[in-house]
A and B are shown apart, each in its own frame.
Chain A
Amino acid sequence: MSLPAIPNIFKLNRGTGSPRRLQDNLTIFLFLLPGLILFLVFVIYPIFQSIYYSMFNWKGFGPAEDFVGLDNFKNILGDKVFMIALRNAFLLIVFSLLLQLPLSLILAVMVGRDLPGRAFFRTIFFMPYVISEVITAIMWLFLLNPNPNRGFVNAVIVAFGGEAQPWLGDTTLVLPSLFIALTWKYFGFHMLLYMAGLQNIPHEIEEAGRIDGASAFQNFFYITLPLLGSTIRTSVYLSVLGSIQQFILVWIMSKGGPVNASETLATYMIRFGFVRFQLGYGSAVAIYMFLICVTFSLLYQRLTRQPDYLTGL
C-alpha cells in the first residue's frame, strides 16, 4: 500500500519564481495553522506540563511547590504494583498478538469470501466495536457474575455439570476474563482492517497462483499474507498501543483488582494520581507511559522499515 511520493502532492504550481513559491508555502502554512494550534495547545503543552508536575509532590490544589526532583520516577520503578501493571500490559500485548489478531484475520478471510450471508456476519462481527466501551464492560460484568443464577457464563458451566467460577474475583482468572471481553470488543475492528487490506489484493495474483497449482494454504501463506503486510503492521501497532493504554473496560469491570491483579498502566496512573490525590506522582507515571509508547513507536517504525502512513493517527 505505497502512497505516491510525498513531494508531488505539494507541486501544485509549476511556476519556478520564488515569490510564487513563497506564497504557496504561506498558504500551506496558513491551512496547517489551525490544526497546529490545536495540536500545540491540547497535545504538546500538556506533555510539558506533565513533565513539570512530575517533579513535584503535588496534590492538584493550588500551585505546585514541593519540588522533589526525580524522586517520583525512582519511587515508581521501586513499586511492585507498577511492575504488575507493566507485566499485565506485556501479557495483554502477547495475548492480543497471538490470539486476537490471528482470529481477526481468519474471520476476515472467511467473511471476505463469497460466503452466503457474509454481509450478515460482517455486521454481527463488527457490532461489538460500535458499542461503547462502558456498555461492553457492564454487559460482561453481568455475563461473568459469579452467581450462576445471574451470570450467564456460570449458568452455562453449571448446566453442563461444571463448577461456577468467580471470574473477576480471582487473582488468576481476572486477567484472562478481561482479555476475553477485550477480544470480543476489538476483534471486529481488526477484522475490518484486514478486510480492507484483502480488497486491495488483486484477484489476478491469487488466480495466477491457483492456475500454477498452489493449494489454498500455499495461496494464503505465500500470496495473501505477504501482500497484507502493511495492514498487519498497522493492526499490530494499534493493538499494542491499545493494550498499553487500556483503561475503561478494566476500570469498570475490575478496577484493576482484586489486589492489583489486573492493574494496567492507565488504571495504575488513575489510582495513584487521582484516587490518591498524588498528581505529581501520577504525572510521572504518565511520562513513563509516554516514553514506553514513543520508544515502541520509533522502534517499530525502524524495525518494520517500510513507512506506514496509516499509523500517523
Chain B
Amino acid sequence: MSRKIYTLLSLLIVAAFVLSACGNGASTEAPPSEPDAPAATEPPASEDKVTVTWWHITTDERQAAVWQTLADGYMAEHPNVNIEISILENEAFKTKLTTVMQSGEPPDIFQSWGGGVMNEYIAAGLMKDITADLDANGGEWRNRFSPGALGVYSLDGKNYGVPWDMGMVGFWYNKDLFAQAGIDAPPTTWDELLEDVKTLKAAGITPIALGEGDKWPGHFWFGYLATRICGQEGFQAAASRTGSFTDPCFVKAGNKILELNALEPFQDGFLGATYGDQSTVMGNGEAAMELMGQWAPGAQAGNSADGQGLGDKLGFFPFPAVAGGAGAATDAFGGGNGFGIGKDAEPEAVDFVKWLTTAEAQVACAEAGFCIPVVKGGEAGLSDPLLITLQQTLAKAEYFQLYYDQALPPAVGSVVNDSVQGIFAGTLTPEQAVQAIEDSAAQEIK
C-alpha cells in the first residue's frame, strides 16, 4: 500500500522536474537573417504599449540621472513607450552582453564602442541597420554628428549605432611635480619626453604611472607611437591585409617603448598593477604623468585618497611628435561611447535614440562631466578647461585612430594587448611582438 504512495510521489517529482525543465528551456536561436536595406522606420504612430530595453554603463549616480531624466522626458511625451534601463558596471556589462548576444537576444539599445567587437555582432546579424533613419528628412539626424565619430559605428557604409561621446588619449600631468623637477613646458617631441622623464627621475619623482596588469593602458603607448610613425596608411594597410604588422614602422614603435622602458620610468610593480592602481598613483600625486583617455581626471579623483584628485594641478598635453614618422603630430588616438541598436529594436527605440542625441541632451551630459559632445552645439556644455582643450585638440585632428584593441577584431586586439605587455616586461622583442600580431591578423582578418 505504502509502495503505491511511493510510486505516486516519485512520479509526481519526476513530472515536476520534467515540466519545469520544459518551461525554461525554450530559448530559440534565430538564424541571422540579412534584412535587405530596411526602409526608414516610420515615426511611431501606434498607441500599442512598447517596451524599450536600454543597457548603459554610466554607473555614477549623478551622471546616470542625466540619462534617467532624458528617458522620463521621452516617456512623458510618448505615454505608450516604457523605457527599461539597466545600469551595469563596465566589466559586468561586457560579460552580460556577450551572453545575450550568444543567445541571439540583444537589448534594443546598448553601450557600444564600435570597432571590431561591433563588427562581429553585425556579421552575426545581431544589430539593426539604421542608415535609412539617419538619412531620413534630408539627413537631418546624420548631419548632427561629426562624421569621424559617426563612422566608428558603421561597417561597409551602413550604420548600426550612433556616438554620444568621443574623446582622445593624451598625457595628463601633474603641474606641481613638473615644476618641482624644473620642467617649465610640457614636451612636444618624443625626445623631449624622454629628457623630461630623465629629469623627473633625477629629481626623485616617479615619472609615469602605468597599470600594465590590465594591458590596455600599455597598448595606448604602442598604438600612439605606431599612429605617429606608421601614419594612417600604415595601420589601414595592415588592418586591411594589403600591408603587414611586421612592417618596420611597427617594430620601430616597439623599439621606442624599449627606449622609454630602459629609463625605468614607471611606478614599482607596474606590470601587475591595474588601471585602478594607475589612477590612484596619479590622483595621490605620486607620479608625474599618465597616458590616458578623457575619463582620466574623474578616475584620478575617484581613486585618490582624498576623493578630490589633483584639481588645478592637473594639466593636459597631446602625445608628442615622433621625428621621421609618417603620421601628423595632430593625429588623434582614442575612442568614445555610442549607442548600439539591437536587431529587434522597435521604431520607438530608434526614435528614442534620436531624442538622446540632440544638442540639448549632449549639453546635459557634458555638464555632468561624462561626455565630450559629438553633436554640434553640444560643446556648450563643457566647462572644464582641460576637457575644452582636449575637445579642441580632437577637432584639429585630421585622422582619428580608434583604439587598436577596439578597431581590430577581438582576437587580434587581445593579441596586441598581450604582445605589448610582453614588450614592457622584456619577454618579447618588438620583432616577436609584431610577428604575433601579424600571425593573428593573418588568421582573423579575411
Binding site for B on A (CB under 8 A): 23, 26-27, 30-31, 33-34, 37-38, 41, 59-63, 145-147, 150, 164-171, 174, 254-255, 257-260, 271, 274-278
Contact = CB atoms under 8 A, between A and B. Distances in A.
A62 B31 contact: yes
B268 A277 contact: no
14 contacts: A27-B10, A33-B14, A34-B17, A37-B17, A63-B31, A146-B267, A166-B271, A167-B269, A168-B269, A169-B269, A169-B272, A257-B215, A275-B410, A276-B415
Contact of B123 (A23, A30, A61, A171): A61
B21 A258 contact: no
A104 B415 CA distance: 41
Contacts of A145: 269, 277
Contacts of B418: 259-260
Contact of B268 (A26, A166, A254, A274): A166
Contact of B213 (A26, A165, A254, A274): A254
B120 interface: yes
Interface string B69-113: 000000000000000000000000000001001101000000000
A69 B101 CA distance: 26
B14 A61 contact: no
Contact of B124 (A61, A166, A257): A61
A168 B425 CA distance: 13
Nearest to A31: B10
Given A30-B10, A31-B10, A146 B273 contact: yes
A41 B286 CA distance: 54
A170 B213 contact: no
B11 interface: yes
Contacts of A26: 7
A208 B277 CA distance: 60
A169 B18 CA distance: 51
Contact of A254 (B102, B267, B272, B414): B272
Contacts of B272: 146, 166-170, 174, 254, 257-258
Contacts of B315: none
B295 interface: no
Interface string B10-47: 11011001100100000001011000000000000000
Interface string B328-367: 0000000000000000000000000000000000000000
The range of chain B's interface size is 35 or more
- Which of A38, A61, A167, A278 has most chain B Cβ within 10 Å? A61
A168 B120 contact: no
Given A62-B32, A63-B31, A171-B427, A146 B123 contact: no
A37 B6 CA distance: 19
Nearest to A254: B272
B302 interface: no
Query: What's the dominant secondary structure at chain A's contact region?
Result: loop
A16 B414 CA distance: 67
A167 B272 CA distance: 8
Contacts of B32: 61-62
Interface in B408-446: 409-411, 414-415, 418, 421-422, 425, 427-428
A61 B120 contact: yes
B153 to A, nearest CB: 18
A169 B428 contact: no
A150 B280 CA distance: 11
B268 A146 contact: yes
A59 B120 contact: yes
A169 B409 CA distance: 28
Interface in B108-138: 117, 120-121, 123-126
B126 A259 contact: no
Interface of B: 3, 6-7, 10-11, 13-14, 17-18, 21, 29, 31-32, 98, 101-102, 104, 117, 120-121, 123-126, 212-215, 267-273, 277, 280-281, 286, 409-411, 414-415, 418, 421-422, 425, 427-428
B213 A30 contact: no
A257 B410 contact: no
A37 B21 contact: yes
A27 B3 contact: yes
B421 A258 contact: yes
Given A165-B269, A257-B272, A259-B427, 5 more contacts: A27-B7, A33-B17, A60-B98, A147-B268, A166-B268
Contacts of B270: 166, 169
Q: Kindly list the 10 A-B residue pairs having the minimum CB-CB distance in the complex, ordered from nearest.
A: A146-B269, A166-B269, A169-B272, A61-B124, A168-B272, A169-B269, A30-B10, A258-B271, A169-B271, A276-B411
Contacts of B104: 61-62
A141 to B, nearest CB: 8
A211 B129 CA distance: 87
A278 B411 contact: yes
Contact of A41 (B21, B29, B98): B21
B269 A61 contact: no
Contact of A164 (B120, B215, B268, B414): B268
Nearest to A37: B17
- Which of B17, B32, B120, B125 has the largest number of chain A CB atoms within 10 A? B17
A260 B281 CA distance: 25
Contact of A257 (B13, B17, B121, B271): B271
Which of A62, A271, A274 counts the most chain B CB atoms within 10 A? Answer: A62
Contact of A34 (B3, B14, B410, B427): B14
Contacts of B11: 30
Most A CB within 10 A of own CB, among B13, B269, B277, B414? B269
A278 B6 CA distance: 49
Contacts of B7: 23, 26-27, 30
Nearest to B18: A37
Given A258-B421, A259-B427, A62 B124 contact: yes
A167 B277 CA distance: 14
A258 B10 contact: no
B332 to A, nearest CB: 27
Contact of B102 (A30, A60, A271, A275): A60
Contacts of B31: 62-63
B253 to A, nearest CB: 18
Contacts of A165: 269
A17 B125 CA distance: 63
A88 to B, nearest CB: 15
B242 to A, nearest CB: 23
B125 A62 contact: yes
B416 to A, nearest CB: 11
A60 B425 CA distance: 32
Nearest to B414: A276
Contacts of A174: 272
A295 B183 CA distance: 63
A134 B270 CA distance: 22
B2 to A, nearest CB: 11
Contact of A147 (B14, B267, B415): B267
